[in-house]
Structure 1
Amino acid sequence: MRKSILVSLALTASLFAGVGVTSTTANAAGWHKGMPKALQGTWKTKYSKAFGTSFKLKIGKNYAHAQGLDPDYLNNTHYRYLGSHKYKVTGYEPIYSKKTQTHYYKWISKHHIVVSGTGYYR
């Protein structure tokens, strides 16, 4: 009887020792479908005297369309958060290349973002 109690205590102790070693990791830096909520909306650049216009960028739930001298469309988007308010966005470009393209967005404030070095404002 005493031996069976000791064996069961040893097995129980080994089970609890194994529980502390096991760890789970979250995939928080994975790819997400669509566009980040913070970037969605209509954005525009400051007026450019050289081009005689300001460029517009419309970001929806699953697309990013830039309008200006040369249109730049990105459909069926997926994004990854890179940290420090930076996002890597990939999507299908249906006009010229008809391939997947990658754009980088940086959220500065609710009224200012930077896309590939160009500042856009609300």
Structure 2
Amino acid sequence: MNALLNSLITELRRGTLTLAVLSQLRTPQYGYSLVQRLEQSGISIDQSTLYPLLRRLEKQELVTSSWDTSESRPRRYYVLSAFGLEIFEQLKQEWEKTSQELYTLLKGEKDDESVGTD
């Protein structure tokens, strides 16, 4: 059961991680700073998940990247492209709509359970 539950949780999180990452790239971020920002919001993401996601988002032209070599350690910064910002806003609206619908369904489920126990 744990393997099944973990698999379903991973599936559920996959799309939300994309939205979470996009939400933090309105300002340029490098990988480690992005991990920290997400973790401060309660969202954990492994670097082994983050970097392939960033590469995919860049290939989809939602994100652009550039190297900053002004410090002793070069860092690759990622930021939303204009297209990425447009897509992010649409995804955010869809997430809010879907979240509200799910909340209503799940809340209704609790209401149904309490009706049967009276």
More helix by share: 2
> Does TM, normalized by the shorter one, top 0.5?
no
Give TM-score, length-normalised by structure 2: 0.22
Greater fraction of residues in strand: 1
